[in-house]
């Protein structure tokens, strides 16, 4: 079984014989790792069908796939059973408090709770000893540690390989997550043993890189460690959004495609230096070993290293023989048997897709470009380009968008990735021994990475950088068809410079314009609820090109795309209802793209760090900032804003009291337009809603922005008092909070309101024509 593609030197027959076995291993482990009996039965049925096909056609690949499928189901099922029936899982079902000795196996991840509960830290570890309920066990089972409170700093500084003891409360985990339980520490961690010597040495090298980069500009200082070691500890939210919008996020992660680029560059330099034959293989092996060691040999690193080596070998020595897909298949089978839960990892899927793209298209595209570009530049452009096209369907499924700028951004950034990464590794290697030399190399690495920063920054700011795309099966199938079509047509286009250049010009023109959607936006729109994911951003038109903006959502790229589409060039009044990230995340991008007249905020400055940062940023830009006060009014163009409530200090008590108090402090406002009124409610909860009604405030409006993304915590009397005909729910697709709640939707329907949701309809616009208002949705 083989597939063919024509190259400049003839036709290459790809060896597909192991492909069914790779698919079988992936499918079998995915089913088995769920821990569900029905999944195992389903796998058995599939195996019987495959066996029947193999017997009927006397097909060796089908027979081998059947064996692999049965083997993967058996191996994965046993692993899942051991995980779900061991003492850790059993005590987790009882929410037992236990004393644990744990070895840290992953880098701690620190983040701020979106619910306002302060910083939290999450990491993976293996339980080595456990005492609880009068018994003691010596074992080795994976758990997830979720720490918060006073010990956050200690957990955040935990080194991979360290062994710690602490008391914690177990809670049940899904077997599909690959851990036996979740643990919330109740005491501070007590270090029982330091990491092995080689991990300590690795940490010194990583620390040396960070210190050498300290003298660089902020973005370079963050990007060089991220490119080199996947260390994103200094990467800002803005940079993350820019790289995500331009499809360059993989450069800041430990990915197979990234290692392939690094190896390609190292091999090229080695050849320039006269290295040949087996010594070239030695150089490659050393590079991979150094890469894995410096990235701490975590499972994701080993997976990326395996896929990166396969990709490089496939486009190199195996390219002419067509054995690339055979190598990818072997890698997939082996990795799935080593870690069954990789079959459920989006990162693994992206790595495999990138490698398949590089194998199938990379060499052919490089040869096409090589007709009019230097060979080194053709390789540097073709490899990331092939990986980007191959992974686009998966990226769209994850993000709900198609990155128009992703293909050109990867093509442009490709030539700079290798030099910047190699210089970063060189910096890491010498900085801890010779600091001054490390700083020189860090300077070179920083400026080698500067073009990547410019590409991400400018690319993400383009109006047409991405197109919102539904993640439905049919829509994703269209993306797959489009990616395959690009793959088929690319060689014909890439070998002709006179086609590449005009297409590049057309692409630039497209990027300079916001994506056009038929009928969107309506010509006389008054209010638009932007689709910014799990967050709020509501636009109220006050004059041509000008609008009041209430909240900025969590996603800067989505916010700017919405404003571009509806033609808003200036924001004379910005209202930030409260300081949670899902309401202020797009502020920095907004301030950098459009003039903002004045800002009103909630009187409660919590979370304090966020409030201070926003205040400092606005002061630096000279933008007036004032606290909202109930009863205040602003007239802006055709609109009149009235603050109904602000800074209510009410909480529901319990674990979430701090978050409830912050939610109830939301600025609640009423906007009056000619022929239309709207109530904007932030995240105010039942206590705040009741207080607003008790104060006798006028909350009547044609449209209500449903509080807190439609959560279950609503006061029916408050919603009824609005008398609204239309209820807008600004909420993210497949969010983990269960918003909007079925109970809330039933309440709104019972009150006779038409419900529109940004997760289902996309952005929603309300317009007025001949005295009648109409609703238009983007989807």
Peptide bond into 740 cis (omega under 30): yes
Q: Kindly write down the DSSP assignment for every residue of 104-167, as one continuous string.
A: E-S--EEEE-TTS--EEEEEEEEEEEEEETTEEEEEEEEEEEEEEGGGHHHHHTPPTT-EEEEE
Of 286, 279, 243, give the one whose Cα is nearest residue 262: 286
- Asked if residue 678 has pLDDT above 80, the reply is yes
More confident residue, 368 or 463: 368
The tens digit of pLDDT for each residue in 334-369 reads: 889 988 988 888 878 888 888 888 888 888 898 899
The average pLDDT across 499-526 equals: 77
Whole-number pLDDT of residue 138: 92
Rounded to two decimals, the pTM is 0.69
- Asked if residue 537 has pLDDT above 70, the reply is yes
Whole-number pLDDT of residue 317: 52
Asked which of 9-18, 141-150, 259-268, 469-478 is least confident by mean pLDDT, the reply is 9-18
Asked which of 57-61, 197-201, 207-211, 247-251 is least confident by mean pLDDT, the reply is 57-61
CA distance 141 to 339: 14
Whole-number pLDDT of residue 308: 64
Could you tell me if 72 and 25 are in contact, meaning their C-beta atoms sit under 8 angstroms apart? yes
Could you tell me if 5 and 12 are in contact, meaning their C-beta atoms sit under 8 angstroms apart? yes
Dmax (CA) of the chain: 85
User: Which band of pLDDT confidence, cut at 50, 70 and 90, is reported for residue 569?
Assistant: very high
User: Which band of pLDDT confidence, cut at 50, 70 and 90, is reported for residue 403?
Assistant: confident
- Asked if residue 173 has pLDDT above 70, the reply is yes
User: What would the two tokens of residue 274 be?
Assistant: 């006269």
Q: What percent of the chain has pLDDT over 90?
A: 31
The tens digit of pLDDT for each residue in 42-86 reads: 777 777 777 776 666 777 777 888 888 888 888 888 888 888 888
Token pair 């410096």 in the structure block, residue? 294
- Asked if residue 657 has pLDDT above 60, the reply is no
Which range of 96-110, 251-265, 607-621 scores highest in mean pLDDT? It is: 96-110
Mean pLDDT of the chain: 84
The average pLDDT across 678-690 equals: 92
User: Which band of pLDDT confidence, cut at 50, 70 and 90, is reported for residue 515?
Assistant: low
CA distance 656 to 250: 35
Cα–Cα distances (Å) from 237 to 210, 555, 581, in that order, read 19, 10, 11
Cα–Cα distances (Å) from 427 to 211, 248, 283, in that order, read 10, 23, 18
């Amino acid at each position: 079984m083989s597939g063919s593609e024509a190259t400049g030197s003839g036709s290459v027959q790809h060896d597909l014989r192991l492909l069914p076995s790779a698919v079988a291993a992936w499918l079998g482990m995915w089913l088995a790792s769920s821990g569900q009996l029905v999944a195992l039965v389903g796998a058995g049925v599939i195996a019987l069908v495959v066996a029947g096909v193999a017997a009927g056609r006397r097909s060796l690949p089908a027979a081998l796939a059947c064996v692999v499928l049965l083997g993967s189901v058996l191996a994965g099922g046993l692993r899942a059973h051991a995980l779900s029936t061991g003492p850790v899982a059993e005590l987790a079902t009882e929410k037992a408090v236990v004393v644990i000795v744990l070895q840290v196996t992953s880098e701690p991840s620190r983040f701020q709770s979106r619910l306002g509960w302060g910083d939290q830290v999450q990491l993976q570890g293996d339980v080595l000893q456990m005492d609880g309920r009068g018994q003691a066990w010596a074992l080795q089972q994976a758990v997830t540690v979720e720490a918060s409170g006073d010990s956050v700093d200690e957990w955040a500084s935990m080194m991979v390989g360290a062994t710690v003891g602490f008391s914690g409360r177990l809670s049940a985990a899904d077997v599909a997550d690959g851990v036996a339980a979740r643990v919330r520490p109740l005491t501070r961690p007590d270090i029982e043993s330091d990491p092995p010597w080689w991990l300590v040495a690795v940490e010194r090298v990583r620390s040396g890189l960070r210190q050498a980069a300290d003298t660089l500009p902020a973005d370079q200082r963050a990007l060089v460690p991220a490119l080199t070691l996947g260390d994103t500890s200094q990467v800002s939210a803005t940079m993350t959004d820019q790289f995500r919008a331009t499809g360059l996020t993989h450069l800041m992660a430990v990915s197979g495609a990234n290692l392939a680029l690094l190896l390609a560059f190292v091999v090229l330099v080695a050849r320039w230096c006269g290295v040949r034959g087996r010594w070239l293989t030695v150089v490659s092996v050393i590079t991979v070993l150094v890469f894995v060691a410096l990235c701490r040999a975590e499972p994701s690193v080993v997976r990326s290293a395996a896929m990166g080596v396969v990709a490089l070998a496939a486009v190199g020595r195996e390219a002419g023989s067509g054995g690339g897909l055979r190598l990818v298949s072997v890698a997939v089978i082996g990795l799935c048997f080593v870690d069954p839960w990789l079959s459920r990892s989006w990162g693994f899927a992206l790595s495999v897709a990138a490698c398949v793209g590089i194998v199938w298209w990379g060499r052919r595209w490089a040869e096409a470009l090589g007709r009019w570009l230097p060979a080194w530049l053709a390789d540097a452009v073709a490899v990331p380009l092939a990986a980007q096209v191959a992974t686009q369907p998966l990226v769209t499924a994850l993000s709900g968008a198609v990155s128009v700028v992703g293909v050109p951004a990867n093509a442009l950034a490709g030539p700079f990735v290798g030099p910047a990464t190699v210089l970063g590794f060189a910096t890491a290697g010498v900085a801890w021994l010779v600091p001054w030399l490390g700083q020189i190399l860090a300077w070179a690495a920083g400026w080698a990475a500067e073009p990547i920063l410019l590409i991400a920054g400018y690319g993400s700011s383009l109006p047409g950088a991405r197109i919102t795309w539904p993640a439905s099966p049919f829509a994703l199938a269209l993306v797959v068809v489009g990616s395959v079509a690009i793959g088929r047509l690319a060689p014909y286009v890439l070998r002709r410079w006179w086609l590449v250049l005009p297409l590049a010009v057309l692409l630039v023109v497209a990027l300079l314009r916001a994506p056009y959607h038929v009928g969107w936006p309506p010509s006389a729109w008054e209010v638009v609820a932007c689709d910014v994911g799990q967050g709020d951003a509501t636009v109220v038109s006050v004059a041509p090109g000008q609008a009041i903006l209430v909240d900025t959502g969590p996603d800067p790229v989505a916010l700017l795309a919405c404003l571009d589409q509806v033609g808003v060039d200036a924001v004379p009044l910005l209202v930030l209802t409260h300081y949670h990230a899902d309401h202020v995340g797009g502020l920095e991008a907004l301030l950098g793209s459009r003039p903002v007249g004045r800002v009103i905020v909630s009187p409660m400055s919590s979370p304090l760090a966020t409030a201070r940062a926003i205040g400092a940023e606005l002061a630096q830009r000279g933008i007036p900032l004032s606290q909202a006060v109930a009863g205040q009014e602003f007239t802006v163009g055709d609109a009149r804003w009235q603050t109904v409530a602000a800074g209510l200090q009410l909480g529901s008590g319990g674990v979430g009291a701090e978050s409830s108090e912050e939610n109830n402090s939301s600025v609640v406002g009423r906007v009056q337009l000619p022929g239309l009124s709207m109530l904007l409610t932030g995240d105010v909860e039942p206590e705040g809603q009741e207080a607003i009604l008790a104060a006798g405030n006028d909350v009547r409006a044609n449209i209500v922005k449903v509080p807190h993304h439609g959560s279950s915590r609503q006061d029916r009397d408050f919603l009824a008092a609005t008398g609204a005909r239309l209820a807008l729910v600004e909420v993210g697709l497949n969010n983990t909070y269960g918003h909007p709640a079925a109970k809330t939707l039933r309440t709104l329907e019972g009150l006779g309101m038409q419900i529109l949701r940004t997760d289902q309809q996309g952005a929603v616009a309300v317009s007025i024509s001949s005295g009648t208002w109409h609703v238009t949705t983007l989807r």
